[in-house]
Amino acid sequence: MGAIAAAVAIGLAALGASFGVSRIVSQTLEGISRQPELKNDLQTTMFIGVALVEAVPIIAVVVAFMVM
């Protein structure tokens, strides 16, 4: 039962992160299309946001392995 719970936790974390990353990137592209002069600032902020969102599935994997 622990293996199933770990798999579900990892899957949901990956699903949530994929939605978060897609939202961050789409909003960044929208911002760049509106104000192209802010491209570098927006990209820097986007990369920081993506890195923070991608940390969630990594933490979920660690917690899932601890549960098992």
Tens digit of pLDDT at every position of the chain (68 positions) = 888 988 998 999 999 999 999 999 999 999 999 999 999 999 999 999 999 999 999 999 998 888 88
Give CA–CA dist 57/6, Å, rounded.
Answer: 12
Residue that the structure tokens 């933490």 belong to:
59
pLDDT value at residue 3: 87
pLDDT value at residue 1: 82
Give CA–CA dist 1/5, Å, rounded.
Answer: 6
Output the pTM of the full model: 0.82
Please enumerate in sequence order all residues whose Cβ is within 8 A of that of 23, keeping only pairs 6 or more positions apart, or say none.
Answer: none
